Chain A
Amino acid sequence: MTTCKHATELMSQGMDRKLSLPERLRLRAHLLICSGCRNTRGHFRFLREAIHRHPWYPDSDDGLDKDA
């Protein structure tokens, strides 16, 4: 049985490398029964998206050349 801690490790690593098939299956089975980890998956994805839209991120929405 996959623990929540291990599930969060897999979700985090899934953002940095391709998970193996057994890893994906274990994670999927855990997510079916664990709303805390489902929420966490959304939060991890949101973190990445948020950083890329950070006001100081080089390519973020408001554009580098706004004052140029």
Chain B
Amino acid sequence: MSVLTPDEIQNSLAAIRPRLLGFARLQLRSAAAAEDAVQEAMLAAVEGASKFQGAAAFQTWVFSILKNKIIDELRRASRTQADVDVEAALDEVVAELFDEKEHWIEMPAAWGDPHASLEQKRFWEVMDACLTVLSASPARVFMMREFLGLETDEICKELAISSSNCWVLLHRARLGLRECLGLRWFGENAT
């Protein structure tokens, strides 16, 4: 394999642009912010492209630049958005799911073979809708943990929150997503 030519760099970026945008949009929850982050990542990528042999390595690297841009942007967003009271936000979800003895009001049912869903296009539409209806702070922490693969202590540092708040937010995000997918995809009974 030889160093990428300018044409190969262009083609390579054009090929992954939709995916970069989708990835950024889901996490930043704003088309404009996603466009900006992808634009910046692509520009940075072009400057360093000569170091790469082969499109695959180059594309992986573009994604890693984009990840860092997204983390910067999430950090900025967490500072500027009025931070909701984390405990209160959780209580609201918890009140809907658990009774006063903290047992399930509606027991989560088995989901059969959930992995079969991963092959269905419609499943991802529901998943993205469920991610989008999560409120901002749990969604931000969940995305950093699961999409960007950060450890919780890194997330705490980036967002300047305590680790217990981090766990509260992750718990809330997982319960919220579980509930949403259960109702909207796996056919658990609505109450």
Contact = CB atoms under 8 A, between A and B. Distances in A.
Interface of A: 3-6, 8-9, 12-13, 15-17, 35-37, 39-40, 42-44, 46-59, 63-68
A42 to B, nearest CB: 7
Contact of B98 (A5, A48, A57): A5
Interface in B1-43: 11-12, 15-16, 19, 22-23, 26
A39 B110 contact: yes
B170 interface: yes
B76 interface: no
Nearest to A40: B108
Contacts of B56: 63-65, 68
Contact of B146 (A9, A13, A48): A48
Contact-residue size bin, chain B (C-beta under 8 Å from the other chain): 35 or more
A56 B26 contact: yes
Contact of A12 (B109, B147, B171): B171
Contacts of B108: 36-37, 39-40, 43
A55 B98 contact: no
B98 to A, nearest CB: 5
Contacts of B55: 65, 68
Contacts of B115: 46, 49
A13 B104 CA distance: 19
B151 to A, nearest CB: 8
